[in-house]
């Protein structure tokens, strides 16, 4: 086990002995909640289907990800590499994901996600992603898999972006690319075309998800035809509704109970539509997205300049360290 920040709280044997509960299965492996003998809880991602490559390449990339520290990121605490087993250890987020808050338990007894909380989550996730993008100028680090299941909520209700930087381990094309409603048009069939601007597109889809309450999933039936139970393409659907000047039809019915938020909802919708522009050059940088969201209300404002996503909160990460995995 290799630990970051010198904190060696447990050994591999402790992790393997821990009681584990599966949290979910993704494109790069399976995530578990692990309860250690001392009562500590961590999240463990087991990279099963990932195309990892050699040990040196893996370790260099982990060194970069492990040094990223920001209040809106899920911290990578440790990793383990062996030929048959690759593990990533993260902080555990007990409050689950944005996906569950939005789409889980939509029946009787559901607690609606209020507008202030949605806006706070949008701002926090934007800050986390902006930090990733600016943390290493020479490397142009990307998230590569922005979606609502990768926006987790901590104990204080803050958004924490997870699973960042793992797209490098994906195969050139995969089954997941065609079924991902967050994937930018230019990267739809080849993950090697993922860039910071495709991250911006995916973040825009997350904003549309927050605004509409709809799930942006696409189902591929294997014959080239793509259908979904509701929305085939969330950005395209929103654009068509707005074009017909039925903008109010876009918003989640759960939001209709709150007063005096229409201007803010329309403002966030405009940001989301800019992020999901078909042309990458037309999409704003994440730092600018942060500024626009924070200026809407002035809550949780932290100054967002071009250098906001510097490594000030991660002093150990230098330009030299960034370049090692190129």
pLDDT tens for residues 24-38?
Answer: 887 778 899 999 888
Q: Which percentage of the chain shows pLDDT scores above 90?
A: 50
The residue with greater pLDDT, 200 or 296, is: 200
Mean pLDDT throughout 100-114?
Answer: 82
Task: Indicate where the chain has its CATH 3.30.200.20 domain(s).
Answer: 2-92
Mean pLDDT throughout 136-159?
Answer: 92
Structural element, H or E, at residue 177: helix 175-178
CATH architecture of 2-92: 2-Layer Sandwich (3.30)
Give the closest residue to 28 by CA, choosing from 153, 164, 195. 164
| 45 annotated among ligand-binding-site residues | yes
Average pLDDT across the chain, whole number: 81
Q: How far apart are CA 253 and CA 188, in angstroms?
A: 30
The domain 98-297 is placed in CATH, from the list 1.10.510.10, 3.30.365.10, 2.60.120.10, 3.30.70.100, at 1.10.510.10
The residue to which tokens 């109970």 are assigned: 257
pLDDT class of 14 with cuts at 50, 70, 90 = confident
Report H helices in the chain.
12-17, 55-67, 98-103, 115-134, 175-178, 196-212, 234-243, 262-275, 286-297, 319-322
Q: Which percentage of the chain shows pLDDT scores above 70?
A: 79
Task: Indicate where the chain has its CATH 1.10.510.10 domain(s).
Answer: 98-297
The residue with greater pLDDT, 30 or 161, is: 161
The residue with greater pLDDT, 139 or 63, is: 63
The residue with greater pLDDT, 35 or 179, is: 35
CB 155 within 8 A of CB 74: no
Specify the DSSP class assigned to residue 294: H
pLDDT given at position 232: 54
């Amino acid at each position: 086990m290799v630990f970051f920040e010198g904190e060696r709280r447990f050994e591999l044997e402790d992790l393997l002995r821990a009681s584990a509960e599966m949290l979910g299965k993704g494109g790069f492996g399976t995530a578990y909640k692990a309860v250690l003998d001392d009562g500590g809880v961590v999240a463990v991602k087991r990279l099963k289907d990932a195309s990892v490559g050699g040990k040196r390449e893996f370790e260099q990339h982990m060194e970069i990800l492990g040094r990223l520290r920001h209040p809106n990121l899920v911290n990578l605490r440790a990793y383990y590499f062996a030929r048959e087993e690759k593990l990533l250890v993260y902080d555990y987020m007990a409050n689950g994901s944005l996906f569950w808050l939005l789409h889980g338990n939509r029946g009787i007894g559901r607690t609606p996600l209020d507008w202030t909380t949605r806006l706070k989550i949008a701002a926090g996730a934007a800050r986390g992603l902006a930090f990733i993008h600016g943390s290493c100028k020479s490397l142009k680090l990307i998230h590569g898999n922005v979606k609502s299941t990768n926006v987790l909520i901590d104990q204080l209700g803050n958004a924490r972006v997870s699973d960042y930087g793992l797209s490098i381990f994906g195969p050139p094309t995969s089954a997941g690319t065609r079924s991902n409603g967050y994937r930018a048009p230019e990267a739809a069939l080849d993950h090697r075309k993922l860039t910071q601007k495709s991250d911006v597109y995916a973040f825009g889809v997350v904003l549309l998800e927050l605004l509409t309450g709809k799930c942006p999933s696409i189902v591929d039936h294997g014959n080239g035809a793509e259908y979904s139970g509701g929305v085939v393409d969330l950005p395209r659907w929103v654009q068509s509704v707005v074009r017909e000047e039925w903008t109010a039809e876009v918003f989640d019915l759960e939001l209709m109970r709150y007063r005096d938020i229409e201007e803010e909802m329309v403002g966030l919708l405009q940001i989301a539509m800019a992020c999901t522009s078909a042309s990458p050059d037309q999409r704003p940088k994440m730092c600018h997205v942060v500024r626009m969201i924070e200026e809407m209300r002035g809550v949780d404002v932290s100054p967002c300049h071009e250098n906001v996503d510097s490594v000030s909160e991660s002093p150990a990460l230098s330009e030299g360290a960034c370049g090692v995995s190129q």
